[in-house]
Each structure stands twice: as structure tokens, then as C-alpha cells.
Structure 1
Amino acid sequence: MASKKTAVIHIDALRREYCAARALQEKLELDGINVLLSSRNSTTLLLKLFTPDIFISSHVFQLSPKTNKALSKKGVILLIKEVEGVDHEDVVVLTYPKNHNGSDIDYQNFSRFYVWGKYTRDWLIKHRGIDKEKIQTTGSINQSSYLRDINNKPNKPVGIISRFEILNTFDKRHPFTNLIALDPTDDKYKWYYERCAIDSEVFSIICKIIDRLVKQDIYISIRPHPNENLESYKILKKMYGKRLSIDNCIGIQEWLSNVSVVIGTTSTAFADAYIHETPIISTSAIQRFHYITESQRINLGRFDLAAYTPNNIDEAEALCLTKNLKAKKSKELDTYFNEFYSLDSTMDPIDAIAADITNLVKQENMKTKRSNYHRGRALLYLIDLLTIIRSLISKSPWNNFKILKIYSYNNLIHRPSNFIKETINRIRDRQTK
């Protein structure tokens, strides 16, 4: 009897990637592949001590080019599971750079790229010389039907989609640090300066809306960006008490099932709410500051089609108070999302990725590695334990236990929520049908 192969899935940002990674883990294990989940705190050390059969990452620069080459030479199948799709040049070059930290990235070390849409697929073929057979257009794994849960409970809070990670960095890094590193004469950083002005204004707008809604006895749930410092929101929590909560759901899909409407500045985060059929309110028409960069302006203008766009705070308040507000629909946006997320695919992205990985294992006719799954699991748990101990004694403001719990996956801390348990049950139910 052949030994089961072992895959390591790297979770780069806990609140952005965990739910989908855990669902993929379940699907792969049902298909006969053992899976370990690692993070920024554990991946590099784990791969020095343990050689898996498969390594699944979110970015080509997650590991150094030297490490990628070494793993590839050992016969490890390196896979990229795209975490954020792109459809314009100035962003795709950052997602798939030519080099990292002065070393060229050899794209031939990777066996597969699971991308969201056709744009990235065609760009990788043209600009990175990747064989088209190595690229699978699966759509966003976060849009998997396994991760959709409709909660019909009454009196849900108003949801605030916060996107203030530039102003409110998760590691408490002062904005000066970024500004020192940026070249103001380089057009590729223009978006950053524009974003600073936009985020400052939008935060003020959102605070005014929150204040009005709380006075109307409405509950508020804020969903910060995965890379924001959650402690900063204690300022609002202190002001509004139990009427305002800071969402602690690991995945946005779980949060969307628990709010009546979402409001925020126009962003790609609207896509999740739109596909979930949650009503969206954008502050774009209230704002005075907007992106000047053409690609950003066009892209975000498209996402405005998903939302109500009140002209002032009074109108925004009225929309939030509207009972049974219907989600907006747009044929143009439906067409765009079908292209961007491959929503019209006949196969669920988790099913598609799992099926392809299973086929890859068969095609490679892989020999069993010296390092077995149980050894890898023991090492991973030891690394996670040491990470916890280090965080408890650390005096660093961005490397303590609170930060660890919020931003970095740890097998010993993060256990499946009820939402994840229900997701796992959905996967198992479909597997048996």
C-alpha cells in the first residue's frame, strides 16, 4: 500500500487565508493527502527540518529563490495558490516580480499556478515564460461555495468594512517608515500617497456615520483589514461601548453572514459582499479625495456598481436604517466577476485545486520522502509552541502574544470555529454524494 503524501499549506495572513486553507486541507485529506498548515512564524524553519511532498504558497516570494530551487531539486512540488487576483499591469508586476531581495526568481521551479482569472494567466505566459499547462484558472478559493453560509437571524448589526492598513499598520509601524522607503518620483508608488489622503477622509466619514447610527440604537460591527492594528479600535470601543464591536471572525465570509448591510470606501472587498448578496453602501460620492491613477480609478469605479452611493452622510444614514435593503445587481459587474473570479467555472475552486493536486501526485509518481507526516506534524507543533513561548516573553510591540493571536496562524491557538466546522461538514457531505 502506497504511503500518503504530505502537503504543507502556508497561511500568510490569518484573517485573509485561514478559512479557505482549512477547507482545502479538508478536501485534500479526503482525497488521500496529509496536510499541515504553517505560517510566517513556522514555514521557513519547518522546511529546513522537514521535506514535504508538496508546498502550497500564496506568493512566489514567500520563500527565497534559493530555497525554492533547493526544494524543487529535492522533488518537492511547489504550487502557488493566488491569494489576490489582479487585472492591471501596475499590480501584477508586484505580485509576480522578476526578483526578490536582489535574487532572480526562477518561475520554472513552480509546478502550478492557481490563478483567479484570464488576465493573470495570459500575463504569466507572456511575461514570465510559464507554460500554459502549468496555469490553472480556478477562480478565488475564497469564493468557494463551501464557504458560504446564509444567516437569516433578525436585527443584525450594520457592518463597516475598514481598509485603513496604510494609516493603522498591524505592527504599529509609524507611517514615516514607509515614506522614507518610498521614491516619490516613481509613479508606481503614486497610489500610496493618494491612499493616505483617501483613508484619512474616509475614516472621518465613517466615524460620523457610526455616531449617528449608535444614537439611533443601531449596533455596529467593524471588520478591519487583515493587516490593521486592532488595538487602535479601542478608541471607538471606548466611545460607544457594547453598541460597537470589532469583528473577530477569522474569515470575511463568516462576518458577512452576521451583518445586515456593509458600508465603507469602494474597494475590492466589495466583491465578497456582492457575491454573498449583502447590500453595500459606498462612501465614494461623499468623499472629496479619490484616486488619480487611471488604473485604480477605473477599477474602483467598476466596484461602485455593486453599491449604493449616497451623496452625503444624511443619505448614508437613511440607507443603513432602511429595513430589508436589497443588494444591488449589475450585469456589467456580473460579467466582470465572471472574468475576474471565474465564477462561471463548472467546478468549485477548492474542488478544482484539490483534483489537480491529486493528479499531479499521480503524474509525478512520487517516491516517499524520508520525512513522514507524523514527524512533520510533531516538528510543526514544537515550532508553534516555541513561537508562543517567545511571544509571551517578548517585549516587542509587534511580536507579542496579542499580535500572534490576531495575525499569524498557530496550530495550538487557532481552533476551528462553528463556521469552519459547518464548512467541513459541507465538504464531507458533498464528498459522500
Structure 2
Amino acid sequence: MFYKKIIFLECDLGGRDAKIYLTLSKFLENKISHAKVYLISRINIKFFITNFKNSIFILTPQKINRYKTHKSNLFYILETEGFLNKELYHLTYQRKNLQNIKKIFVWNNLTKKNLVTEYKVSKENVSVIGPFRLVYLSILKKNINKFTVGVLCRNVGLSNFKNISKIKFIYDYIQLEKKNKVLGLKEHWSFQEIIENNIKSVENIIKILDYYNDKKININIRPHPNENFKDYIFLENKYTNVKIDRSENFYDWIENVDIVFTPSSSTNIDLILSNIPLIDLKGNYKKETFLNLHKQLSHKVDFNNIKLTIKDLKKIRASKNNKLFDQFKKKYLNNCNIDFSHMVESLKKESSNLPSQHYWKLIIYDFYNNFRYLLACLYKREKIDFNYNFSYVFKKYSINQKLLNKFNTVKFKFY
């Protein structure tokens, strides 16, 4: 009963994507006989890579060769987002780390083409599966309670996850610039631009909150995953109509907002596919991949003279029927086509050559983390997350049956 082929799947952004990746884990377990698919994160990955042999690891593209591993382990890459800009590849893929990868699963043919031509990866080793993460949007149900204005933040230069020193933030970017010069690469971001644009964005958020403070409009602010939501909590005390979103799942937030003030970001795609109108928050990075799309599809506001009443906000409609978006959907989103067949076939084949093993270590690891979590909650009287432990008991992470039903069809179009 406890002897299975063990496959580890790395979840991209912890809480935000846990439900999607847990569902993907269940889907793969259903398709691959005698397999145990276990979800891990980039924070606790070291424990599993160093303590398990004869296992398959399906990892995000970033820093594949992170830790020493046993030669009996097999590695795959599952892309978390597609790419449109060649300058971004070096931030994610590293040529030297792609040599021992069995297969790379990507979002679109453009990524495949660039990996083959620029990174000399064999065609047979790259499979297009489509933007699987976005399939969740097709099963969302909008909350029809009070009209709610969403504010999407990306102020990572001002508020950092776990309160990383801002001095260290600048130091890290300077080191990255030096490294890229040696490699002959252009730096995609500069810390000066990030901080300058973050300040502009925060100024506009404050102007929004001041304007709508006495207008009985609910405002729900969603910090970026790399921000510390506690930095925003004081706003709930300053403004009675403001709520800081603490939900683990980003898509729970999408279900509860009707229109969103947002800078240019990849999450704009989630909003557009969810038929949610965008208002440009400004503070956009000049080299942002989605900037042109954002400019075309977002409503513009003069933040020095905001005049949008609740009636005006309700009249704004999402602009998704647009030539630029159609091109984008085709290139970046694989025309919203999903195909898991190559992924399933490859994992079936490779796992059949691995020995089954007792997964008691995983059971003990779960028990240990859940016990620590419970003690911390009792001692601190607040919920504390330990290394993104995907606990069904305390964090309420679970699979989504509707999403699983979609995945089980293997090949489908979701939009």
C-alpha cells in the first residue's frame, strides 16, 4: 500500500497556486499507475532533493541545478509562464543546467522555438502543453454581493517578502547587473526604476482610497506574492471601506472583485480572461513584457483629479475583443489549448523504470510540519506558514474537483 513510484512536483508561488498544483498532482496520480505525486515548494525543495533517490522531480525553470542530488533521480521542467521577450530567458533558463533534463513542458511554441534555436535543446525534449495554470479561470463563479473595487499591487521595491532589507534589495540588483555585464546580457530591470515606479503606484493607491473613502465603495487590496501583506494592514484602520486580501488562492480574490486598478503585469491576463475591466494604476516598468497590451486594454484615469463615481465604474467594460489580445492569445497562450498527453506519456515511461519505494518519509515530514504549525499557532495565537507546507488539515489546501475533471480530458480548449 505504501510502496509507490515517487514524483515530486514543485509549486511555483506557494499559496497562490497550491490548489492548481495539488489538482495537477492528483491528475498525474490518476494517469500514472502506482505513483505518488507529492507537492513541494522552492523553499523546502532542498530536503527532498537531498533525501530521496530513484525519484522524478518536476521543477520550475529557475535554478534547476540548485542542490546536490543522487544520480538515480530524473528531472523535468514545467514552465510556470510563457515568454514573449528574449531578454527574459537568461533570468529563468540557464544553458548549463538543461543538459540533464529529460523533458521541458512549456506554454507555447514561441518558447519551444527559442529553447531549440537559442539554447540548443533538442526538439524532442520540449513539449507544448499550454497555459495550464489559467484553466482555473474557466471554472470561477463571480460573487454577486456588493460592488467591489480591486487594487492589485506590485510594490516589491518598497515592501519585500519577510521584510528583506531595502539595502540588501539594492545590493542584490547591483550584483545582478555586474554578473549580466560579464555575460554580455542586458539588465531587464533596474532598482532605480523599480523604486521610482513603486512610489508612483503607492501615491495613486492613496489617492484612490482618499477619493472613495466616503462613497460607500468596497475596496479590496491584493499585495504581490513577494510583498509582506502586513505592510498594508494599517490601511484597514485608516479607511473603513478597505480590506487587505489575505486569501491563499489568488483566484479567490478574482471572484470577489468587479473592476481592478492595476499596473502592467502578467496577472492582467487572468483579469482579462475573467472579463474584469482594468484601470491603469500607473507606475509601470518601461520594459514590462505586457505593457503594450496593458496600455491598449486598460481604462485611463487622471489621479490628480479622479471623477469616477460608482455609476461610472459600473459602466466600464472589459476590452478583451481586441486584435492585439487575439494575437497575444495565439502566441503566448497557445490559443488557450491544453495538451497533457506528452507529459503523461513521458512520465509513464520513465517512472516504469524506477523501483517502487516506501514513502514513510513523506508521512513523517507531513506530521512534523503539521505539529510545528499547530504549536506555533497555539504559542503565537496566529497562523504561521512553515516553508509552504501544503497541509490539508491546517491550511485548507485541497484539490478542485471541477478543475480535475477538466484536466482529466487531457486535451481541451478552455476559452
TM-score, normalised to structure 1, is: 0.81
| DSSP 3-state at the match of 1:37 | strand
Q: Does 1:302 align with 2:293?
A: yes
Identity across the alignment (%): 21
| Residues 383/38 of structure 1: CA separation in 2 closer, same or farther (3 Å cut) | farther
- Structure 2: distance between partners of 1:58 and 1:391: 30
| Residues 152/247 of structure 1: CA separation in 2 closer, same or farther (3 Å cut) | closer
| Residues 299/367 of structure 1: CA separation in 2 closer, same or farther (3 Å cut) | closer
CA contact (8 A) 1:113 1:135 kept: yes
- Structure 1: distance between partners of 2:22 and 2:5: 17
Q: Does 1:427 align with 2:408?
A: no
Residue 121 of structure 1 deviates from its aligned partner by: 1.5
Name whichever of 135-144 and 146-155 sits farther off. Answer: 146-155
Corresponding residue of 2:129: 138
| Residues 230/430 of structure 1: CA separation in 2 closer, same or farther (3 Å cut) | closer
- Structure 2: distance between partners of 1:15 and 1:432: 26
- Structure 1: distance between partners of 2:42 and 2:137: 26
- Structure 2: distance between partners of 1:192 and 1:16: 25
CA contact (8 A) 2:209 2:239 kept: no
| Residues 84/130 of structure 1: CA separation in 2 closer, same or farther (3 Å cut) | same
Q: Does 1:380 align with 2:379?
A: no
Corresponding residue of 1:81: 78
- Structure 2: distance between partners of 1:52 and 1:150: 42
Q: Counterparts of 1:57-136 in structure 2 under 5 Å?
A: 57-64=59-66, 66-67=68-69, 70=70, 73-74=71-72, 76-98=73-95, 105-136=96-127
| DSSP 3-state at the match of 2:191 | helix
- Structure 1: distance between partners of 2:344 and 2:107: 20
- Structure 2: distance between partners of 1:393 and 1:52: 38
- Structure 1: distance between partners of 2:368 and 2:116: 38
Corresponding residue of 1:102: none
CA contact (8 A) 1:18 1:409 kept: no
| Residues 150/305 of structure 1: CA separation in 2 closer, same or farther (3 Å cut) | farther
Name whichever of 260-269 and 407-416 sits farther off. Answer: 407-416
- Structure 1: distance between partners of 2:353 and 2:58: 19
In the alignment, structure 1 segments of 5+ residues that lack a partner are 99-104
Corresponding residue of 2:220: 221
Residue 316 of structure 1 deviates from its aligned partner by: 6.4
CA contact (8 A) 2:84 2:110 kept: yes
Residue 120 of structure 1 deviates from its aligned partner by: 2.1
Residue 370 of structure 1 deviates from its aligned partner by: 5.1
Q: Does 1:342 align with 2:334?
A: yes
> 1:349-371 CA distances to partner (integer Å, 9 max, x unpaired)?
xxx33x33331133336234353
- Structure 2: distance between partners of 1:146 and 1:162: 20
> 1:338-395 CA distances to partner (integer Å, 9 max, x unpaired)?
21121342xx3xxx33x333311333362343533x4243143145247648967999
> 1:191-222 CA distances to partner (integer Å, 9 max, x unpaired)?
33212101111111011112222310111111
- Structure 2: distance between partners of 1:29 and 1:5: 10
- Structure 2: distance between partners of 1:138 and 1:429: 14
Q: Does 1:168 align with 2:166?
A: no
- Structure 1: distance between partners of 2:384 and 2:12: 14
Corresponding residue of 1:253: 251
CA contact (8 A) 1:212 1:317 kept: no
- Structure 2: distance between partners of 1:262 and 1:280: 5
- Structure 2: distance between partners of 1:258 and 1:165: 24
Q: Which amino acid aligns with 2:396?
A: R
| Count of residue correspondences | 397
> 1:7-36 CA distances to partner (integer Å, 9 max, x unpaired)?
211224213431321220121122244211
- Structure 1: distance between partners of 2:379 and 2:111: 41
Q: Counterparts of 1:404-423 in structure 2 under 5 Å?
A: 404=385, 408-411=388-391, 413-416=394-397, 423=400
Residue 92 of structure 1 deviates from its aligned partner by: 1.1
- Structure 2: distance between partners of 1:382 and 1:246: 31
CA contact (8 A) 1:9 1:36 kept: yes
CA contact (8 A) 2:104 2:125 kept: yes
Corresponding residue of 1:55: 57
Corresponding residue of 1:15: 15
CA contact (8 A) 1:58 1:82 kept: yes
Q: Which amino acid aligns with 2:346?
A: L
Q: Counterparts of 1:346-357 in structure 2 under 5 Å?
A: 348=338, 352-353=339-340, 355-357=341-343
Q: Does 1:266 align with 2:264?
A: yes
- Structure 1: distance between partners of 2:198 and 2:189: 14
Hey, which of these two has a bigger chunk of helix by percent?
1
- Structure 1: distance between partners of 2:336 and 2:189: 34
- Structure 1: distance between partners of 2:379 and 2:168: 22
Q: Root-mean-square deviation (CA), in Å?
A: 3.2
- Structure 1: distance between partners of 2:278 and 2:127: 31
TM-score, normalised to structure 2, is: 0.84
Q: Does 1:37 align with 2:39?
A: yes
Corresponding residue of 2:345: 359
CA contact (8 A) 1:19 1:250 kept: no
Residue 164 of structure 1 deviates from its aligned partner by: 1.0
From 351, 355, 359, the equivalent of 1:369 is 355
- Structure 1: distance between partners of 2:94 and 2:388: 24
| Residues 153/234 of structure 1: CA separation in 2 closer, same or farther (3 Å cut) | same
Name whichever of 118-127 and 170-179 sits farther off. Answer: 118-127
